[in-house]
Amino acid sequence: MFKKLNILDEADKRLQQKSKEVTFPLTKEDKKLIQQIISELTYSQIPEKQEEYNLRPGMGLAFPQLGIHKRIIVIVHEVEKGKFNNYVVVNPKIISHSVEMIAAEEGEGCLSINREVVGHVPRYARVTVTGFDEDGNEIKIRAREELSIAFQHEIDHLDGILFYDRIDKEKPLLNENEIRFI
């Protein structure tokens, strides 16, 4: 049976805490939770399932959003209709990034933020992320565009940063001379 995750809302200050590095092997509970997150993120991006389980669409989740302060992120990226690539990264680090910045034109969303937030979030157009898979093998991922934004957004959660912390309070909306929109 599909059991919905209990995702913390932004009002919960635990979202502002920094998460700790994880040691291997992962616990059985953590591995189970990773699978549950993958299912929920995947379902949330399939219209029929989204409706059936009353899910908000989302492509990423970080462990601290469940109140667990471990450096684990999960991203389910729809590469074409109905086809998803899953990324599970333990102790992720951005080891290099482009100079070019981008922003999601419609703004970013977050499963912990249940309201409309207006503003553009500057992100690197491309990042290289290293870390470990759930079995402790080293991995390296090159991400660009939407996927690059997703990695930066989820890694921020591990440091207690929410996307609106990166919106310029004086000038929340950027224009196309200042940044490339995707």
Least distance to Ni ion from the beta carbon of 112, Å? 6
Joined tokens for residue 16: 């502002």
DSSP 5-19: --PPPTTSGGGGSPP
Least distance to Ni ion from the beta carbon of 154, Å? 7
- For residues 182 and 140, give the distance between their C-alpha atoms in angstroms, rounded to a whole number: 24
Let me know how long the chain is.
182
Please give the residue whose beta carbon sits closest to Ni ion in the complex. 110
Which one-letter DSSP state was computed for residue 39? H
Least distance to Ni ion from the beta carbon of 99, Å? 25
Q: Report, in angstroms and rounded to the nearest whole number, the Rg of the chain calculated over CA atoms.
A: 16
Name the residue nearer to Ni ion (CB basis): 100 or 165. Answer: 165
Name the residue nearer to Ni ion (CB basis): 80 or 106. Answer: 106
Name the residue nearer to Ni ion (CB basis): 138 or 149. Answer: 149
Which residue among 40, 108, 134, 154 is the active-site one?
154
Name the residue nearer to Ni ion (CB basis): 49 or 166. Answer: 166
Q: How many CB atoms lie within 10 A of CB 19?
A: 19
Chain residues binding Ni ion by CB under 5 A are 110
Least distance to Ni ion from the beta carbon of 21, Å? 20
| 10 given a catalytic annotation | no
In sign, the C-alpha dihedral spanning 28, 149, 126, 157 is negative
Report, as residue numbers or ranges, the catalytic residues: 154
